[in-house]
């Protein structure tokens, strides 16, 4: 099985990704763009990811509701994933939130995950060094890799190749695959750091 990479093409995703590319925008605009991208990428993921069940009403009509057996968890890689999560949480308001330090410190993913647990990992830039210990912990605690999705604004071909070797069942949603991510991600990360956290 090969790593599945989905480049989100919704017009609103393209719009907000374009705004994010302009580093001259003020921090408030960039933060709004990240939040909107988190919402719309999550929407793209949810279209086929949410499990619904048909309920029959007393009036002999049927309705579809989200299946309550499935539990949803959002793993936020701090600090930048938190900005994406602002939009994502609006679409998954009942999801459990887990914060993970970007320095490979994974210590608060709950135990006893199972095939009914669906996990969304959020970060601005995909980094296999950060994501790998999270994936190992999720699988160790019972998560099924087919139920894990990663959403990011940008990822590099090198990072994707590294993840693909060990985690080929993964599905990744992004706005951009960048061949020079190692060089550009550093300057973009500094832009976000300077505008969001100073």
Q: How far does Cα 154 stand from its chain's mean position?
A: 11
Q: Is the pLDDT of residue 5 over 70?
A: yes
Phi, psi of 24 (to 5 degrees): -80, -10
Q: For the segment 84-116, what is each residue's pLDDT rounded down to a tens digit?
A: 888 888 888 888 888 888 666 666 788 888 889
What's the predicted TM-score (pTM) here?
A: 0.86
* pLDDT mean over 125-150: 90
* pLDDT mean over 6-23: 88
- Beta strand spans in the chain (E): 4-7, 52-56, 62-66, 71-78, 96-101, 117-125, 148-156, 171-174, 176-178
Which pLDDT belongs to residue 187?
Answer: 59
- Torsion 92-98-102-106 (CA) sign: negative
**Separation of alpha carbons 25 and 34, rounded Å:** 12
Question: Do residues 154 and 18 make contact, with C-beta atoms less than 8 angstroms apart?
Answer: no
Q: Is the pLDDT of residue 4 over 60?
A: yes
Which pLDDT belongs to residue 118?
Answer: 92
**Structure confidence at residue 130 as a pLDDT band (50, 70, 90):** confident
Residue 79 in 3-state DSSP? Answer: coil
Long-range contacts of 11-16, Cβ-Cβ distance < 8 Å, separation of 24 or more: 12/36, 12/40, 13/37, 13/40, 13/41, 13/44, 13/175, 14/175, 16/40
Which pLDDT belongs to residue 193?
Answer: 62
Report the mean per-residue pLDDT for the chain.
84
Question: If 0-12 CB within 10 Å is exposed, 13-18 middle and 19+ buried, where does residue 112 land?
Answer: exposed
Structural domains present in the chain? 4-196 (3.40.50.2020)
Which pLDDT belongs to residue 105?
Answer: 62
Residue 52 in 3-state DSSP? Answer: strand
Q: Is the pLDDT of residue 184 over 70?
A: no
Q: Is the pLDDT of residue 6 over 70?
A: yes
* pLDDT mean over 27-34: 87
């Amino acid at each position: 099985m090969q790593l599945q990479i989905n480049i989100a093409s919704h017009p609103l995703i393209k719009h907000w990704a374009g705004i994010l590319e302009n580093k001259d925008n003020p921090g408030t605009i960039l933060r709004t763009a990240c939040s909107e991208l988190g919402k719309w990428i999550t929407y793209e993921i949810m279209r086929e990811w949410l499990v619904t069940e048909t309920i029959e009403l007393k009036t002999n009509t049927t309705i579809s509701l989200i299946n309550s057996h499935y539990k949803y968890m959002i793993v936020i890689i701090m600090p930048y994933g938190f900005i994406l999560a602002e939009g994502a949480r609006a679409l998954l308001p009942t999801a459990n939130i887990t914060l993970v330090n970007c320095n490979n410190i994974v210590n608060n993913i709950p135990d006893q995950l199972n095939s009914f647990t669906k996990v969304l990992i959020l970060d601005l830039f995909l980094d296999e060094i950060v994501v790998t210990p999270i994936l190992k912990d999720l699988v160790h605690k019972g998560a099924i890799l087919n139920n894990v999705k990663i959403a990011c604004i940008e990822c590099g071909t090198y990072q994707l190749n590294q993840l693909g070797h060990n985690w080929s069942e993964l599905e990744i949603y992004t706005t951009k695959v960048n061949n020079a991510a190692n060089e550009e991600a550093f300057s973009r990360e500094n832009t976000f750091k300077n505008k969001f956290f100073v």
